[in-house]
Structure 1
Amino acid sequence: MKKVIFAFILAIVISIPVFAQEDVPGCKDSPMFNRMPNTLIAVCSKNYDEFAIPTAQDKSETKEGTKTFIQYAYNNESGVPAPSFFQIVKNFENAILKTGGKKVYYNKDAGIATFFTKSSGKDVWVVLQDMAGQNLGNFELNILEIEGMQQDINASDLLDAINKNGSIALYINFETGKSDIKPESQKIIGQVAEMLKSDPSMKISVEGHTDNAGTPAANKTLSENRAKSVMNALITEGIDKTRLSSKGWGQTKPLSDNNTEEGKAKNRRVEIVKL
């Protein structure tokens, strides 16, 4: 088996145009990262696809989204020794940490590193794969961008759902770690206000929920503040404050598994509960 793997890797390395002095036409770096010095793009692609993301030893999670693939070849004619895979990983790790992201998995022997971050409301997974050994400088960059929890709902849908179920979960985007509502979520606030105006007798409780990142005490405070922000936004939309109340549950009532990023996204919500 080792001979087969070595032959496969060798074939990949041979296929890389290491003597080229320019990137393959039509290819460019991701705007998320600066290029490693003395590297050239040998192959690239970008499309909607599914991708098995390594998250632990012998474990991966298949996700789908917009996948950017870039294969970098080290320019051996530069006269500078190629960086180790560890050095490449540290460079990307430093860049991702600055965005508030984190390293999820690293296996030096297998030549794999996985990172997670967020960008423009999207979950972003980044996977680095060593092409052919620790000190040859050739590697693959995979970036999978997954749309965050999106909600496009109108007032009549809200009214039907809340009358049927007694509550509805809304995915409102806030500033990270804060209770400031992002502009893209103002449409949802407007729809809730319109629903309340269509039924003047309805009273609701605005209830905040978080995932389990951070301490329980901090999450409870954050959920309370976010619920109050939504309530105040509804008051600004013309809803009488006597019809509204707010509450924060923190991380105590998860809807999904907090061990996955998708589960955490579902748990970060504001529920509108009919009183």
Structure 2
Amino acid sequence: MKITFAFLLYLVSYCAWAQNTMEPTDYDALVIYKVTDDKGVPEQGAIVKVESILDKSLKTDTTDLEGIAEILLKKGTSHKIVVEKQALKFDFGQFDIPKQDGKLTMEENLQIQVVTNYKKIYNLKIHFAPNRAELYEAAKKEIDKLAEEMKKNPAMKIEIAGHTDNVGDANVNLQVSQKRASAIKTYLVEKGISEKRMIAKGYGKTAPVGDNNTEEGRSRNRRIEIRML
């Protein structure tokens, strides 16, 4: 496990990269926790627990798709950090919140290693008609295999990621990739998988794995990825 600390003093506003739902105050620092695995992949659904050394009060937040959790903590206090995921607990020890003037935002990178008995990412071997999101019978059979895998692993949560090549309008590609991912999620729900265990997201052409200048590369880029969360 690794932990790194960095803090920024915000006198007027915070940097453009930090689009937070919470804001620091004159009395409380905003602590942004980013939880990743040992390869730097964000860990969604990890519970970050912060316990006060002084009065044992506890604050928690659950990481989002980007592995981010946010908690407001009083300046000049000390805390213990624990991260929990899939019945595993990771203890990061004690850290201190500086007591200083101005609005303070801190970033902490927490690295965990969750061992699972299924692949981190794999591609569903299914095909769609151009600009369409209807599922063919062959596609449903492939998704049925995923449904069975999820039933065998009740802790398994996934992102269904739709991807396209770079041919055509970027906004249309984005919409089509979202519709395809959503269609797969809907089908899995019909097969008895809780929608709370799934996120459907379209990425359009933004995450190629092949060369879009070749037909072979474009074919590789037109895909549905299943990512374990």
Q: Which has the larger radius of gyration?
A: 1
- Structure 1 length-normalised TM: 0.40
Q: 1 or 2, which has the higher strand percentage?
A: 2
As a proportion of its length, which structure holds more helix? 1
Higher relative contact order (CA 8 A, sep 6+): 2
TM-score, structure 2 normalization? 0.48
